[in-house]
Amino acid sequence: MNGSIKNCRKCGKMFNYMMGPPICPACREKIEKKFQEVKEYVREHKAASMNQITEDCDVERKQVEQWVREERLVFSDESPIKLHCERCGAYITTGRFCDKCKKETANDVSAAGARETGNAAEAPRNSGLRMHTFRNN
Summarize as ranges the residues that interact with Zn ion (CB under 5 A).
Answer: 8, 10-11, 13, 24, 27, 85, 87-88, 90, 98, 101
How many C-beta neighbours within 10 Å does residue 35 have? 19
* Whether the Cβ atoms of residue 96 and residue 86 lie closer than 8 Å to each other: yes
Report, in Å, the least distance between residue 129 CB and Zn ion.
Answer: 21
Is the Cβ of residue 56 or residue 60 nearer to Zn ion in the bound state? 60
Is the Cβ of residue 10 or residue 69 nearer to Zn ion in the bound state? 10
Is the Cβ of residue 24 or residue 53 nearer to Zn ion in the bound state? 24
Is the Cβ of residue 109 or residue 131 nearer to Zn ion in the bound state? 109
Report, in Å, the least distance between residue 22 CB and Zn ion.
Answer: 9
* Whether the Cβ atoms of residue 93 and residue 79 lie closer than 8 Å to each other: yes
Report, in Å, the least distance between residue 105 CB and Zn ion.
Answer: 9
Sign of the Cα torsion 40, 42, 43, 48 reads positive
Report, in Å, the least distance between residue 83 CB and Zn ion.
Answer: 11
Q: What is the C-alpha separation between 107 and 74, in angstroms, rounded? A: 24
